[in-house]
Structure 1
Amino acid sequence: MRKESEVYYAEPKRSVIASVFLLIGFIMLGLILGNILGMLISLPLFDADYQSMASAFLDPTSSPNSRKALLIVQACSSLFGFILSPLVFWKLVEKRSLSSLFDDHYLEITLVLMVGLIVISFMLANSIVIEWNMNLDFSQFSGAFEEWASAKEEQLKELTEYLTRFESIAGLLVGLIVIAVLPAIGEEVVFRGMGQRMFQSLTKNPHAGIWIAAFLFSFIHLQFYGFFPRFLLGALFGYIYYWSGNLWYPIFAHFVNNGFTLIMLYLYQQDATDLNVEATESVPIVTALLALLVTIGLLYYFRKRISQLSLTQDEQ
């Protein structure tokens, strides 16, 4: 099985830490450009009135066009900040081919479907951690931090609920592209394809690389009442990538996590199901434990199948 430490090395005249900071710089630049482009594209929705657009962004529910504008800005930010600018960094600064990121070896449809099942079963098991994290009392750590984290959580919750209030299939499809497809590609390129490999090279330990990347993946969302379940989710993506060496698997896993949630939200909004995936209550403990066992079993088979494919390829 190919190990990630065999496919990433820092440039002789530059340390891995320097590469990490350069990558961050490219991401920040891409986010700035993406936000500017998104706002320029959104201007016609407000009759080219900057003041109206600014007011809509500060209070999205005040304008019927704000949801479209926010989705446009978010799409441009994801595209430029987490996809295009990191790929430019990889190609021009690191001088590496894009094929070194998007290798399709060991890609099997059965394993792709298995990854989807792994994510769904993990979501059930992770609900225990979600409920625990939501009820954490940060005031014991810092009253100011608790106040800020609570306000931030409520703000992002309201914004998410607003953006995911779909009224048609077309709206759901747009949401899937903006909230599921683009973040799945971009965040996995940055945190697994690049970051995890860099931290693995830096620490000389694949597990350290996985968990550092997962920590940063959760941290950048700035939702600390959901930090630990997202941290574990990032680690899951990391191990899927480490075992397979194929970035398409964690990309699909990330897409399933976001996309399944959006589809279930749409069905709930249409009264097609009574299951509210936004509820923070965990599933019964027995269900969570069974889901955890299923997740472990599927991960074991996934890793075993990848090893078999690796041995078969080596023999050819």
Structure 2
Amino acid sequence: MIKEPYKDYTPQTTRLHPTLQFLILVSGTFAMIFIGFAIAAGIIVVVYDAKTLTDVLGFNTGNKHALAGLWILQIVSTTIPLFVAPVLFARFVANETQAYLKPTFKFSLVYLVLVFAIILFCSPLMELLTNINQKLTLPASLKGLEDAMRAMEQSAQKATEAMLKMNTVGDMLFAVLVVGLLTGIAEEFLFRGVIQTIFTRWTKNTHAAVWITAILFSAFHMEFFTFLPRVLLGVFFGYFVAWSGSIWPAVWGHFLNNASAVVITYLYQQKHSSLNPDNQHVFNYWIDSLSLIIVLFLLYIYKNITQQKKQMVEY
């Protein structure tokens, strides 16, 4: 039982309008990413050489230092900035750290069990949306844009494939730590923490805030052909936070999604499993339908439990 309620920080103490808050956050985040990129590039050049930096940016894995360089680039120019930006914003701009980041651990462990089940049973839905997404094409007049998006996605896939070439259990655990845990914390603090709070106050509608944040979350990854499944994940994470009042159920869900992808990839690479992580034709429509029913039921239970906990605290 929760001994103390998570306070609903609806009253806004900062005088900045949510529109201005959002602009400041976006500007600050991209500034952090730019600074992080410059630092990462400097580290790669100093530790290795300029050619390694060029190979890293070109995803040339023939360079023996390219993999280490890619991880440096990922951690220093992306993971750390995405964590630091929302923390600084919540503390010094909004001056409402608890309200924006929602770092409270005062929630039932049942939430984590339900999140685990939802992430597990939503796999068929994710596959279905991925297949639908792959068939989407833009009008002929926007073919140039579609080609550019495909090129960006291919570049992102090259980087991911290079970073997830794991030869040892140590490699896998490192990837789980960075891609699963650290990325999960950073992205959830930014999106479900600060951005979702801004849009909740901006629209005065929790559902609108959850969906807008999920769309921005998916767009941020610049992978158009996996846009829809990532929106669905973002919606799940958004409701995990909105209903529980804590960021950690969403971080847990984010970790499970990313870490499982890393582990499945490792097992497939080492031939310990025949499940190809790139195979998007594992399930059928009957399983998809069952997945939808189960996930909706689990979300219903999650919401009801959170509401019951709040009522128990109030009384």
**TM-score in terms of structure 1 length:** 0.91
Equivalent in the alignment of 2:74: 74
Q: Match of 1:168?
A: 168
Distance 1:20 1:119, change over 3 A: same
Instruction: Tell me if 1:184 matches 2:184.
Output: yes
SS at the partner of 1:61?
coil
CA 1:168–1:253 in structure 2 vs 1: closer, same or farther (change >3 Å)? same
Residues 250-269 of structure 1: matches in 2 within 5 Å?
250-269=250-269
2:43 is aligned to: 41
Aligned match of 2:150: 150
- The count of residues paired between Structure 1 and Structure 2 equals 311
Counterpart secondary structure, 1:60 = coil
Q: Which residue of 2 aligns with 1:104?
A: 105
Match of 1:18 in 2: 20
CA shift in 2, pair 1:220/1:44, >3 Å: same
Alpha carbons of structure 1 residues 45 and 124: separation in structure 2 relative to 1, 3 Å: farther
2:20 aligned partner, one-letter code: A
TM-score by length of structure 2 reads 0.92
1:116 is displaced (CA, Å) by: 1.4
Asked if the contact 1:83–1:185 (Cα under 8 Å) also holds between the matched residues in 2, the reply is: yes
Matches within 5 A, 1:84-163: 84-98=84-98, 101-105=102-106, 107-140=107-140, 142-163=142-163
Alignment of 1:187-206 (within 5 A): 187-206=187-206
CA separation of 1:56/1:6 partners in 2, compared to 1, >3 Å: closer, same or farther? closer
Within a 5 Å distance, the mapping from 1:193-232 to structure 2 comes to: 193-232=193-232
The CA deviation string for residues 178-200 of structure 1, in whole angstroms up to 9 with x for no partner, is 21112211111111111111111
- Cα pair 1:8 1:197 within 8 Å, conserved: no
Change (3 A) 1:8 1:23: farther
Corresponding residue for residue 295 of structure 1: 295
Separation in 1, partners of 2:7, 2:218: 22
1:90/1:8 Cα in 2 relative to 1: closer, same or farther (>3 Å)?
A: farther
Contact 2:184 2:254 in 1 (8 A): yes
Task: In structure 2, list runs of 5 or more residues that go unmatched.
Answer: none
Contact 2:59–2:158 under 8 Å retained in 1: no
CA gap 1:212/1:241 in 2 versus in 1, 3 angstroms: same
Verify the 8 A CA contact 1:128 1:282 in the aligned structure 2.
no
Post-superposition, which runs of at least 4 consecutive aligned residues in structure 1 deviate over 4 A?
A: 1-5
Aligned equivalents of 1:226, 1:166: Cα separation in 2: 23
What is the Cα deviation at residue 250 of structure 1?
Answer: 0.6
- 2: CA distance, partners of 1:212 / 1:21: 15
Are 1:306 and 2:309 matched, yes or no?
Answer: no
Q: Does residue 12 of structure 2 align to residue 9 of structure 1?
A: yes
The amino acid across from 2:67 in the alignment is R
SS in structure 1 opposite 2:246? coil
* Cα distance between partner residues in 2 of 1:245 and 1:150: 37
Aligned to 1:271: 271
Name whichever of 92-101 and 248-257 sits farther off. Answer: 92-101
**Percent of pairs with identical residues:** 24
Asked if residue 243 in structure 1 is aligned to residue 243 in structure 2, the reply is yes
Q: Deviations over 1:77-97 (max 9, x none)?
A: 234321112211211111123
> What does the per-residue CA deviation read over 1:245-296, in whole Å, with 9 as the maximum and x for residues that have no partner?
1110111111111111111111111111111122233511111111111111
The alpha carbon displacement at 1:217 in A equals: 0.4
**Aligned residues of 1:20 and 1:195 also touching (Cα < 8 A):** yes
Instruction: State the Cα distance separating 1:140 from its structure 2 match.
Output: 3.9
